[in-house]
């Protein structure tokens, strides 16, 4: 295993535990006087994409900041200690949210709440809008961005599972100022590690619009409203004369990266979606998923949750 992947996995376990125990941490801080402040850093606010890209290679240990809803928490807990912060919020070209009959293109600065409240006849946007409600709490959704969540590559991010299930394509720009496209299948490397390179910026995510034969389903389970999910399932099912012909069934949060359960889809092919077939597919998903170790929940419990969310996500596609 590469050192980078290994350290990402370690950071993931620590960050997940700390996020879940945040309230305990604040109590500790109050009683023991621990500091919840970020280390010093240089703050830069470029006014063009070109300038932002130059800053990425001309400064010590730079990190892009978009909504800051993940990065600032990580900095305050000293899990991330960048020397330089590059704030991209002035880059207006990253605010685009383009919808046409064939595709939906979400620029790097589009927030969770813009998606949540966007009124559109697009079936894909309506679906994303219903999923957005599951992300954190309202104030976080107003600041956090779709692309920031994808770049952050937390396996429990709803948008990461959507990227994979809905056949999204990431557009990044690098030092040669040329666009590079990353297919969702190749995007996630390890928890908190994507294929975006250190000197690149994620500029947008594009999804194909769904047609009248395609149904989408989402379900997740978390202990409390606003918590990160223990498991989630995003389903994209193509039907022909009520029989499954193709699609994706993606499990998020339960494993290291969002994962397609191809065996569950293979089982469904040629069959109708009903309680019986959806339950069997959900059993396959629970059996095949490689569970990520977690001090909060046992493997057996997580498999049960995977089964439940997969069943509900598939039934929603009926």
Ligand X SMILES: Cc1cc2nc3c(=O)[nH]c(=O)nc-3n(C[C@H](O)[C@H](O)[C@H](O)COP(=O)(O)OP(=O)(O)OC[C@H]3O[C@@H](n4cnc5c(N)ncnc54)[C@H](O)[C@@H]3O)c2cc1C
| Cα distances (angstroms) measured from residue 68 to each of 80, 141, 248 | 12, 11, 31
Contact range with ligand X by CB under 6 A, out of 136-144, 182-190, 230-238, 258-266: 136-144
Burial of 286 (0-12, 13-18, 19+ CB in 10 A): buried
Structure tokens at 65: 């900041």
Residues 54, 248: Cα–Cα separation, whole Å: 38
Q: What are phi and psi of 296, to 5 degrees?
A: -85, -35
Which residue, 15 or 273, is less far from ligand X as judged by CB?
15
Contact pattern for ligand X over residues 17 through 46, marking x by CB under 6 A:
------------------------------
CB of residue 88 vs ligand X: minimum separation in angstroms?
Answer: 6
CB of residue 62 vs ligand X: minimum separation in angstroms?
Answer: 9
CB of residue 151 vs ligand X: minimum separation in angstroms?
Answer: 3
Residues 208, 53: Cα–Cα separation, whole Å: 28
Establish if 144 lies at the interface with ligand X (CB under 6 A).
yes
179-183 and 188-190: which strand pairing?
A: unpaired
Which residue, 39 or 262, is less far from ligand X as judged by CB?
39
Which residue, 85 or 314, is less far from ligand X as judged by CB?
85
Q: How many CB atoms lie within 10 A of CB 41?
A: 19
Q: Which of residues 195-254 bind ligand X (CB under 6 A)?
A: 196, 201-202, 228
Establish if 152 lies at the interface with ligand X (CB under 6 A).
yes
Structure tokens at 175: 């030092």
Residue with tokens 């040629």: 270
CB of residue 180 vs ligand X: minimum separation in angstroms?
Answer: 12
Contact assessment for residue 112 and residue 145, using Cβ atoms and an 8 Å cutoff: yes
Which residue, 228 or 267, is less far from ligand X as judged by CB?
228
Establish if 174 lies at the interface with ligand X (CB under 6 A).
no
Contact range with ligand X by CB under 6 A, out of 117-125, 145-153, 232-240, 289-297: 145-153
CB of residue 146 vs ligand X: minimum separation in angstroms?
Answer: 8
Closest C-alpha among 282, 201, 212 to residue 249: 282
Establish if 189 lies at the interface with ligand X (CB under 6 A).
no
Number of residues near ligand X (by CB under 6 A): 28
Establish if 310 lies at the interface with ligand X (CB under 6 A).
no
For every residue of 142-153, which 3-state class applies, written as one string?
Answer: HHCEHHHHHHHC
Establish if 151 lies at the interface with ligand X (CB under 6 A).
yes
Contact assessment for residue 184 and residue 167, using Cβ atoms and an 8 Å cutoff: yes
Q: Which of residues 50-89 bind ligand X (CB under 6 A)?
A: 63-71, 73
Q: How many CB atoms lie within 10 A of CB 136?
A: 19
Residues in contact with ligand X by CB under 6 A are 63-71, 73, 108, 135-136, 140, 144-145, 147-149, 151-152, 157-159, 196, 201-202, 228
């Amino acid at each position: 295993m590469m050192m980078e992947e290994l350290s990402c996995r370690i950071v993931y376990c620590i960050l997940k535990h700390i996020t879940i125990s945040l309230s305990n941490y604040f109590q500790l801080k109050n009683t023991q006087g621990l500091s919840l402040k970020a280390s010093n850093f240089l703050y830069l606010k470029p006014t063009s994409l070109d300038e932002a890209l130059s800053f990425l290679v001309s400064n010590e240990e730079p990190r892009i900041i978009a909504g800051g809803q993940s990065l600032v928490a990580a900095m305050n807990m000293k899990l991330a200690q960048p020397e330089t912060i590059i704030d991209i919020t002035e880059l207006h070209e990253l605010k685009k949210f383009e919808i046409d009959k064939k595709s939906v293109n979400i620029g790097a600065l589009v927030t969770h709440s813009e998606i949540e409240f966007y009124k559109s006849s697009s079936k894909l946007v309506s679906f994303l809008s219903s999923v957005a409600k599951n992300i954190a709490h309202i104030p976080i959704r107003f600041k956090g961005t779709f692309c920031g969540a994808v770049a952050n590559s937390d396996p429990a991010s709803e948008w990461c599972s959507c990227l994979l299930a809905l056949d999204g394509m990431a557009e990044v720009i690098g030092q040669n100022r040329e666009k590079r496209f990353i297919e969702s299948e190749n995007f996630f490397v390890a928890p908190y590690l994507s294929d975006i390179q250190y000197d690149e910026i994620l500029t947008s995510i594009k999804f194909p619009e769904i047609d009248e034969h395609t149904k989408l389903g989402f379900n997740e389970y978390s202990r409390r409203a606003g918590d990160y999910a223990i498991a989630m399932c995003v389903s994209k099912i193509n039907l022909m004369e009520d029989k499954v012909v193709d699609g994706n069934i993606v499990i998020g949060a339960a494993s290291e990266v969002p994962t397609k359960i191809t065996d569950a889809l293979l089982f469904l092919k040629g069959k109708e979606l009903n309680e019986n077939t959806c339950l069997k597919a959900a059993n396959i998903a629970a059996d095949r998923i490689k569970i990520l170790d977690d001090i909060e929940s046992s493997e057996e419990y997580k498999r049960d949750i995977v089964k439940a969310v997969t069943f509900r996500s598939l039934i929603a596609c009926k």
